[in-house]
């Protein structure tokens, strides 16, 4: 569900009106379905009756089967998998249509998504006693900051951001569309809650998918300097309690980092990467999106992770494989190359 | 041609004076050539009669053959390839001599190249109505900003930078020596127009090549957070219309990105990389400099691109190769390693 | 030796008191050893009699044999290697115990380590004449800045930082716990002296090792935009004279970069990497920590350096090997894959 604290809602729409505005025709709705009220958008597994959701291709099948979404935009191939409680709207290009609908439901100016608003709102920030705010810091309207927290010089806290107690927000750090727990350290120059890299129609129109989620950083997390932690597209990016992240790390939109994880400097997690608890990512590890690293698994530096790995895995290489298999391959290639030298 | 709006010129020089100041002797010029007037510097293919240019080794041969440069610093090996309309000045170390000449023609204080000038000039910025400038932003003298553009908190816009209409410059972003089109989004913490990494005499004096070009960002471009987009050394760095760039990306000096390209987070393009239109660079792709990716080509994440690739290529691996060849190699190595296990 | 200018000391402790506060029991000290005075902490090879040091496993053996440390926390396996002039304190988990002791000796608030202090101290910065400080810059108490230096807009100079003459500190750069020589250029958005990524008890408590060292940047160094150069944990991070570093580079804590080195953009050096003089690191090279690259050696772009390399080495690949060996392997694999095609 899009948090209307961060992304202003245009209010409720009758489904037929919404589809018309988004130029989706031939939906063949019953009059009852046509008058269904929609006011928000959500991913399938947590959507409710007032939400519109998306099922664009077969990877969505499982979540689709048990969704409670009021309406689902679907490809024709998935249409008969939509549960009876949900209205199916068949689209040729469900992703593109969903983007149009998101822009109608949340017509925030592009500006609002990118930077701190310029014209001060009426509402003042809500700052507990014992907060220190340094020279040149900017605090947005209705931002909340807890006791004992320090905001460094030049730091920028966006409107409605919530920061807990005893946190340190480093110099020139930027935090938008985010909820931050207690005792969190965000080092200098890091950007939290920035736009994810989500686009459609690659190489042609390069349509940007509205980035309407949040970044949630749980207590006792530390994040190094000059990182970029994207907010979610619809579901949130989450960094779990007591996880520690080095400098120059990029976390893609909708990633979920468990508790007590370590992510070394220069690692990059593409969108929707899931790390279970106590995962260790070495320096400059990369992941493709939509993969899961099981609890306690270890990715050695520079591993390129391309698929799910179970709990306790130890992987390395590009593409990453079990480290024992990798060393076996290295040895085989080395023998091969030496043989050819003769 | 160096843009004297960004890099103050010392004015016209007689060629003989210029060579003397740069300690280049034995040029054996005719008196007519010696009195030739030089006032700017430019790469061979666009240089004109008032420009001095460089042809340091054989990769310059083609451009040299048709140059209109008034003067060319050349290695002895290339001297007889200089067209009759241009004066050839033979140097033992043409690169080093060219650096000396650039420093004479454009004696800008090093400070001016690195940061926003501190002591305000007489000239005010030129700001259209309907521009919003946030808390703590700094706008340089004679910078021009178009209607509807928003400058985020703490952003720094260097002197003479031009920014079009309806742009968003994120918090704490820095823009120098650049021309920005309309409807461009530069996310927080990104640095546009910074010095390229151009040095000579590696490991000894590490002489820095003056970075006298610009960064040109065309309309509808979006660039993510904490990127570094270098300006050109002499010719400009260009990001083409509607291209989209993720966070923590580095674009080297003199690169030319076509229209509708996508460059995913953490990619790094070395100097003088050329992407034709609609190229897709996956996350953390790297290129060596001076290579071209043809139209519509795709580099998979982490590819290390070491040579030109034609339009429509699909490449991966390190060094990058056709993705079908790469998978064949992976399979061969895997079979080899398994065979050795027995 | 921790620089008490940056990290406030709690003063001298009797060894027995210090061990009790750190919950280290069963030390079986003689009464003379128990009353030994300790006031600082230092790595083995430079520790003196008032310092406490650490020897956690066999990689410390050589430095341990000649240490002048007053006290050494050791594992049982190393206890009999402690020189007679030093007091050995045997610990089950020497690293963890050492962290406890560091926190007692240097009880600086976490805040002080992360950002510029908010509440101005009594002491003013010490700024020579002819220094330019731009709009929105923040200068900490007792920071010293030399003649001709320019501090860019939004830059943050931490307390007690020393910057020499004719330096340029770019816009929104951050410098903490550091000593900077003359004629140094730090480009915009770069963070110098930030926390290293040093943690213990991985995946469980993720205890942070206090980062009590400094960053020392010698004269004529240039560092590109949006880099992160960590300060040392105990011993300093050092960037040697006339070395040049590109954008988006990460230098880990305690690394020592020699003179006249070049480190291209996006390279990452893990903690305690040693580069001797005139080393060239290509773009996006990575190192594991605790390795040495010999004088004049060259690592090609993207090399993953996993061990020491002697002077004059030319290496590439992942893991990095002699470039001739690497090309031989590539050729062998290519032949193998083609053979299998038949």
C36 exposure class (CB count in 10 Å sphere: 0-12, 13-18, 19+): buried
Q: Please check whether residues C80 and C225 belong to one and the same domain.
A: no
Q: What is the pLDDT of residues C62-103, one digit of tens each?
A: 999 999 999 999 999 999 999 999 999 999 999 999 999 999
What are the two backbone dihedrals, phi and then psi, of residue A147, each rounded to the nearest 5 degrees?
A: -50, 140
Structure confidence at residue A141 (pLDDT): 85
Q: How far apart are CA B60 and CA B82, in angstroms?
A: 11
**Domain membership flag for residue C145:** no
- Catalogue the long-range contacts made by B253-258 (C-beta closer than 8 Å, 24 or more residues apart): B253/B196, B253/B197, B253/B198, B253/B211, B253/B213, B254/B196, B254/B213, B255/B230, B258/B295
Does the pLDDT at position B293 exceed 50? Answer: yes
Q: Please check whether residues C183 and C322 belong to one and the same domain.
A: yes
Closest CA to A98 of A44, A136, A55: A55
Does B44 touch chain C if contact means CB atoms closer than 8 Å?
no
Would the CB atoms of C118 and A283 count as touching at under 8 Å? no
A180 pLDDT tier (thresholds 50, 70, 90) = very high
Q: Please check whether residues C328 and C188 belong to one and the same domain.
A: yes
By residue range, what is the domain housing residue A196? Answer: 177-342
Q: How far apart are CA C60 and CA C149, in angstroms?
A: 41
Q: Among A108, A134, A156, which residue terminates a domain?
A: A108
Would the CB atoms of A318 and B302 count as touching at under 8 Å? yes
Q: Compute the nearest-CA separation of C32 from chain A (Å).
A: 41
Q: What is the pLDDT of residues A264-297, one digit of tens each?
A: 999 999 999 999 999 999 999 999 999 999 999 9
* C-chain residue closest to A300, CA distance: C288
**Domain membership flag for residue C251:** yes
Q: Please check whether residues B96 and B211 belong to one and the same domain.
A: no
Would the CB atoms of C242 and B172 count as touching at under 8 Å? no
Does A203 touch chain B if contact means CB atoms closer than 8 Å?
yes
A7 or B192: which carries more pLDDT confidence?
A: B192
Handedness of CA C172, B199, B97, B33 (dihedral sign): negative
Q: What is the pLDDT of residues C277-296, one digit of tens each?
A: 999 999 999 999 999 999 99
**Domain membership flag for residue C271:** yes
Structure confidence at residue B112 (pLDDT): 45
Range with top average pLDDT, A24-28, A91-95, B75-79, C248-252? C248-252
Query: How many CB atoms neighbour CB B74 within 10 A?
Result: 24
Handedness of CA A4, A6, A7, A10 (dihedral sign): positive
Q: What is the pLDDT of residues C240-273, one digit of tens each?
A: 999 999 999 999 999 999 999 999 999 999 999 9
The overall average pLDDT reported for chain C is: 92
Structure confidence at residue A117 (pLDDT): 47
Does B283 touch chain A if contact means CB atoms closer than 8 Å?
yes
* B-chain residue closest to A333, CA distance: B333
Q: Which residues of A touch B130 (CB under 8 A)?
A: none
Closest CA to A95 of A173, A251, A205, A200: A200
Q: How far apart are CA C188 and CA A52, in angstroms?
A: 43
For range B118-144, the mean pLDDT: 82
Which residues, 6 or more positions from C161, have their beta carbon under 8 angstroms from its beta carbon?
A: C140, C143, C144, C175, C176, C177, C178, C179, C180, C193
Query: How many CB atoms neighbour CB B207 within 10 A?
Result: 16
Q: How far apart are CA A63 and CA A44, in angstroms?
A: 6
DSSP string, C243-284: -EE-TT-EE-TT-EE-TT-EE-TT-EE-TT-EE-TT-EE-TT
Q: How far apart are CA C178 and CA C170, in angstroms?
A: 16
Structure confidence at residue A120 (pLDDT): 52
Q: Please check whether residues A189 and A276 belong to one and the same domain.
A: yes
Question: Can you give the pTM of this predicted structure?
Answer: 0.95
* A-chain residue closest to B335, CA distance: A329
Token duo for residue C105:
């000796």
Q: What is the pLDDT of residues C200-245, one digit of tens each?
A: 999 999 999 999 999 999 999 999 999 999 999 999 999 999 999 9
Token duo for residue A162:
């919530």
Active-site position among A57, A95, A111, A253: A253
Size of interface A-B (CB pairs under 8 A): 161
A309 or A2: which carries more pLDDT confidence?
A: A309
| Cβ–Cβ < 8 Å for A300, A319 | no
Q: Please check whether residues A218 and A304 belong to one and the same domain.
A: yes
Query: How many CB atoms neighbour CB A38 within 10 A?
Result: 23
Encode burial over C182-219: b for 16+ CB neighbours within 10 A, e otherwise. bbbbbbbbbbbbbbbbbbeebbeebbbbbbbbbbbbbb
Does A237 touch chain B if contact means CB atoms closer than 8 Å?
no
Token duo for residue A45:
């597994």
C248 exposure class (CB count in 10 Å sphere: 0-12, 13-18, 19+): buried
Does the pLDDT at position C335 exceed 70? Answer: yes
Q: Please tell me whether residue B328 adopts helix, strand or coil conformation.
A: helix
Structure confidence at residue C112 (pLDDT): 46
| Cβ–Cβ < 8 Å for B186, B225 | no
How far from B45 is each of B52, B55, B235, B248, CA to CA, in Å? 12, 11, 10, 32
Would the CB atoms of A114 and B170 count as touching at under 8 Å? yes
A253 flagged as catalytic: yes
C340 or A7: which carries more pLDDT confidence?
A: A7
Catalytic residues of B: 253
**What is the CB-side half-sphere exposure of residue C202 using CA atoms within 13 A?**
14
Q: What's A261-280 look like in SS3?
A: CEECCCCEECCCCEECCCCE
**B37-38/B13-14 β-pairing:** antiparallel
Q: Please check whether residues B84 and B194 belong to one and the same domain.
A: no
Q: What's chain A look like in SS3?
A: CCCCCCCCCCCCEEHHHHHHHCCCCCCCCCHHHHCCEECEECCHHHCCCCEEEEECCHHHHHHHHCCCCCEEEECHHHHHHCCCCCEEEECCCHHHHHHHHHHHHCCCCHHHHHCCCCCCCCCCCEECCCCEECCCCEECCCCEECCCCEECCCCEECCCCEECCCCEECCCCEECCEEECCCCEECCCCEEEECCCCEECCCCCCEECCCCCCEEECCCCEECCCCEEECCCCCCEEECCCCEECCCCEECCCCEECCCCEECCCCEECCCCEECCCCEECCCCEECCCCEECCCCEECCCCEECCCECCCCEEECCCCEEHHHHHHHHHHHHHHHHHHHC
Q: Compute the nearest-CA separation of C333 from chain B (Å).
A: 7
Query: How many CB atoms neighbour CB A35 within 10 A?
Result: 12
Q: Which residues of C touch B325 (CB under 8 A)?
A: 337
Q: Please check whether residues A259 and A341 belong to one and the same domain.
A: yes
Q: Which residues of B touch A227 (CB under 8 A)?
A: 226
Q: In the beta sheet, which residues pair with residue B266?
A: none
The residue count for chain A: 342
Q: Compute the nearest-CA separation of B205 from chain C (Å).
A: 7
Q: Compute the nearest-CA separation of B325 from chain C (Å).
A: 8
Number of structural domains in chain A:
2
Q: Among B86, B108, B130, which residue terminates a domain?
A: B108
Q: Please check whether residues A77 and A212 belong to one and the same domain.
A: no
Q: Among A81, A108, A135, which residue terminates a domain?
A: A108
Q: Which residues of C touch A280 (CB under 8 A)?
A: 202-203
Q: Please check whether residues C78 and C209 belong to one and the same domain.
A: no
Q: Please check whether residues A198 and A339 belong to one and the same domain.
A: yes
Token duo for residue B312:
């429509």
Q: What CATH number is attached to the domain comprising A36?
A: 3.40.1390.10
Q: How far apart are CA A76 and CA A93, in angstroms?
A: 10
What percentage of chain C exceeds 70 in pLDDT? 95
Q: Please check whether residues C104 and C182 belong to one and the same domain.
A: no
Q: What CATH number is attached to the domain comprising A252?
A: 2.160.10.10
Chain C stretch 67-126, residues whose beta carbon is closer than 8 A to a beta carbon of chain B:
none
* C-chain residue closest to A244, CA distance: C206
Q: What is the pLDDT of residues C29-43, one digit of tens each?
A: 999 999 999 999 999
From A119, A174, A197, residue closest to B172, measured CB to CB: A174
Structure confidence at residue B120 (pLDDT): 52
B227 pLDDT tier (thresholds 50, 70, 90) = very high
Structure confidence at residue B109 (pLDDT): 59
Q: What is the pLDDT of residues B161-215, one digit of tens each?
A: 999 999 999 999 999 999 999 999 999 999 999 999 999 999 999 999 999 999 9
Structure confidence at residue C51 (pLDDT): 96
Q: In the beta sheet, which residues pair with residue C90?
A: C74
Structure confidence at residue A341 (pLDDT): 43
| Cβ–Cβ < 8 Å for B217, B180 | yes
* A-chain residue closest to C195, CA distance: A224
The DSSP symbol for C196 reads: P
Structure confidence at residue B200 (pLDDT): 94
Ramachandran bin of A164, using left for φ above 0, alpha for ψ from -120 to 50, beta for the remaining angles: beta
Closest CA to C105 of C50, C54, C40: C40
DSSP string, B58-98: GGGHHHHHT---SEEEE-GGGGGGS-TTSEEEE-SSHHHHH
**Domain membership flag for residue A115:** no
Does B252 touch chain C if contact means CB atoms closer than 8 Å?
yes
Kind plus residue range of the DSSP H or E element containing C335:
helix C323-341
Q: What is the pLDDT of residues C104-127, one digit of tens each?
A: 999 875 444 344 544 555 578 899
Task: Report the residue of B110, B112, B115, B331 to disrupt the C interface, i.e. the one with the largest count of C CBs within 10 Å.
Answer: B115
Q: Compute the nearest-CA separation of B113 from chain C (Å).
A: 10
Structure confidence at residue A340 (pLDDT): 52
Q: How far apart are CA A310 and CA A93, in angstroms?
A: 34
Structure confidence at residue C341 (pLDDT): 43
Does B335 touch chain C if contact means CB atoms closer than 8 Å?
yes
Q: Chains meeting B at 3+ CB pairs closer than 8 A?
A: A, C
Size of interface A-C (CB pairs under 8 A): 162
Q: Compute the nearest-CA separation of A123 from chain B (Å).
A: 17
**Domain membership flag for residue A282:** yes
Q: What is the pLDDT of residues B27-72, one digit of tens each?
A: 789 999 999 999 999 999 999 999 999 999 888 999 999 999 999 9
Q: How far apart are CA B265 and CA A196, in angstroms?
A: 9
Would the CB atoms of C189 and B286 count as touching at under 8 Å? no
Would the CB atoms of A340 and C318 count as touching at under 8 Å? no
Token duo for residue B198:
């151009």
The DSSP symbol for C234 reads: S
Sheet of strand C138-139: strand arrangement:
C138-139, C156-157, C174-175, C191-194, C228-230, C250-251, C268-269, C286-287, C304-305
Ramachandran bin of C23, using left for φ above 0, alpha for ψ from -120 to 50, beta for the remaining angles: left
Structure confidence at residue C63 (pLDDT): 95
Would the CB atoms of C172 and A172 count as touching at under 8 Å? yes
**Domain membership flag for residue B138:** no
Q: Give me Rg for the CA atoms of chain C.
A: 22
Q: What is the pLDDT of residues B68-127, one digit of tens each?
A: 999 999 999 999 999 999 999 999 999 999 999 999 999 865 444 344 544 555 578 899
Would the CB atoms of A156 and B172 count as touching at under 8 Å? yes
From B226, B288, B328, residue closest to C226, measured CB to CB: B226
**Domain membership flag for residue A28:** yes
Closest CA to C280 of C266, C290, C293: C293
**Domain membership flag for residue B150:** no
Structure confidence at residue C122 (pLDDT): 56
| Cβ–Cβ < 8 Å for B169, B150 | yes
Q: Identify each DSSP E strand in B172-272 by its residue range.
A: 174-175, 178-180, 185-186, 191-194, 199-200, 207-208, 215-217, 222-223, 228-230, 237-239, 244-245, 250-251, 256-257, 262-263, 268-269
């Amino acid at each position: 569900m899009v948090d209307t604290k961060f992304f202003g809602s245009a209010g409720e729409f009758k489904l037929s009106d919404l589809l018309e505005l988004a130029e989706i025709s031939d939906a063949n709705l019953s009059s009852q379905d046509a008058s269904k009220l929609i006011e928000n958008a959500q991913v399938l597994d947590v959507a409710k009756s007032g939400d519109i959701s998306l099922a664009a291709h077969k990877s969505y099948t499982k979540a689709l089967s048990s969704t409670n979404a009021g309406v689902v935009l679907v490809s024709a191939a998935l249409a008969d998998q939509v549960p009876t409680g949900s209205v199916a709207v068949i689209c040729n290009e469900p992703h593109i249509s969903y983007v149009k609908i998101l822009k109608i439901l949340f017509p925030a100016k592009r500006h609002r998504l990118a930077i701190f608003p310029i014209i001060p709102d009426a509402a003042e920030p809500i700052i507990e006693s014992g907060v220190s705010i340094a020279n040149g810091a900017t605090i947005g309207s209705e931002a909340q900051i807890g006791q004992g927290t320090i905001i460094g010089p030049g730091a920028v806290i966006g409107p409605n951001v919530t920061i807990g107690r005893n946190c340190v927000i480093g110099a020139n750090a930027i935090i938008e569309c985010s909820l931050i727990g207690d005792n969190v350290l965000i080092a200098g120059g890091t950007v939290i809650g920035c736009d994810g890299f989500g686009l459609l129609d690659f190489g042609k129109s390069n349509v940007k998918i509205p980035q309407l989620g949040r970044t949630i950083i749980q207590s006792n997390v530390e994040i190094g300097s000059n990182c970029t932690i994207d907010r979610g597209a619809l579901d949130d990016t989450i960094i779990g309690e007591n996880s520690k992240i080095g400098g120059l790390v990029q976390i893609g939109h909708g990633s979920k980092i468990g508790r007590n994880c370590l992510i070394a400097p220069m690692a990059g997690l593409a969108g929707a990467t899931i790390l279970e608890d106590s995962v260790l990512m070495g320096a400059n590890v990369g992941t493709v999106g939509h993969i899961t690293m099981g609890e306690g698994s270890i990715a050695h530096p520079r591993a390129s992770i391309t698929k799910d790995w179970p709990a306790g895995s130890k992987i390395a290489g590009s593409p990453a494989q079990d480290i024992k298999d990798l060393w076996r391959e290295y040895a085989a290639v080395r023998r091969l190359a030496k043989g050819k030298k003769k």
